[in-house]
Amino acid sequence: METINVRINITTPTGRRLLREVEKHPKTAIVEYPLPEGISEQKTYTIEESYEECCKILSNHYKVDVSKL
């Protein structure tokens, strides 16, 4: 598969229109949003990692394995 990287200025109406058009084709085009500068240096977690951590915290607090509920 051949790919290219494109930078679109989404602060303009034309840029936002182009982005909306690209997002309409998820099988062909994948839009990757950069992380904000304040977060980019920090560890980020996936939804699954966050869910597992929350289950651990709740399980410890309630002394019940909440992931099995």
How far apart, in Å, do the first and last CA atoms of the chain sit? 43
Query: Into how many domains does the chain fold?
Result: 2
Q: Are residues 42 and 66 in the same domain?
A: yes
Q: Are residues 68 and 44 in the same domain?
A: yes
For residue range 11-63, what is the model confidence (pLDDT) as tens digits? 999 999 999 999 999 999 999 888 778 777 788 889 999 999 999 999 999 99
Say what the pLDDT of residue 22 is. 94
Beta-carbon count within 10 A of 6 CB: 9
Q: Is the pTM of this model over 0.75?
A: no
Domain coverage including residue 43: 37-69
Half-sphere exposure of 47 (CA within 13 A, CB side): 0
Say what the pLDDT of residue 35 is. 78
Q: Are residues 48 and 69 in the same domain?
A: yes
Q: Are residues 26 and 43 in the same domain?
A: no
Q: Are residues 41 and 68 in the same domain?
A: yes
Q: Are residues 59 and 45 in the same domain?
A: yes
Q: Are residues 48 and 60 in the same domain?
A: yes
